[in-house]
Amino acid sequence: MGLLEEIFPGLEKGDYENIPEWGESEHPWSILDDKVNGIQFQISKIVDESGIFIHPTAKIGDCVRIEGPSYVGPNAEIRHGALLREGSWICEGALVGHSSEIKNSILLPNSKAPHFNYVGDSIVGFEANLGAGVKLSNVRNDGRGVLVTIRQDMRVESGLMKLGALVGDYSQIGCNTVTNPGTIIGANSMIPPNTTVNGWHVSKS
């Protein structure tokens, strides 16, 4: 099983409209790069001159700011005071709540960042939930490129200066938790509140 399928098994179902295409890279985070086939490039092929696509069935609250290129899919909900920065891909049924900020990230179908969240250069899996105040940190304090630990024993260069977290399908992250850059949380995992999370966490952690 490849890393992408291990973390995001829901991608194999293929029953959703306009999910990003990952291509041939073995590293799921490569889609966050701003080069050809990254999410910003893919969004640019969908949107009009405004740089923003909002599906007719999406719900957009008051005082929401959306910067292009961004995509908001069917039945997604963006609540009052949310900020979608460039490269936000909000898939079908996903939720961005009050005062949450999304930047160059993918919220896969039915995922939730509902309360005071920061999601930077990250991928949040199918039906995953970020508790109130969860921050997916994307920049190292020392300014170096982000390293990623794969399956507990392999440390690799991500090739990115900014990389947040990969949060697997159906995972739950407790309130006020912070993930350090390059964190990978496997599918069906549960992270307790008020935690700082690093490295690799297998599915069902």
Whether 90 shows a pLDDT value over 80: the answer reads: yes
Domain boundaries of the chain, sorted by first residue: 3-201
Chain segment 149-195, per-residue pLDDT in tens: 998 778 999 999 999 999 999 999 999 999 999 999 999 999 999 99
Q: How far apart are CA 91 and CA 20, in angstroms?
A: 9
Reported pTM: 0.96
Catalytic residue among 55, 98, 115, 201: 115
The residue-averaged pLDDT of 99-109 equals 98
The CATH classification of domain 3-201, taken from the options 3.40.640.10, 2.102.10.10, 3.40.50.1000, 2.160.10.10: 2.160.10.10
pLDDT interval class at 1 (50, 70, 90): low
Question: Per the structure block, which two tokens stand in for 101?
Answer: 């900020």
Whether 14 shows a pLDDT value over 80: the answer reads: no
Q: Is 201 a catalytic residue?
A: no
Chain segment 21-67, per-residue pLDDT in tens: 998 888 999 999 977 789 999 999 999 889 999 999 999 999 999 99
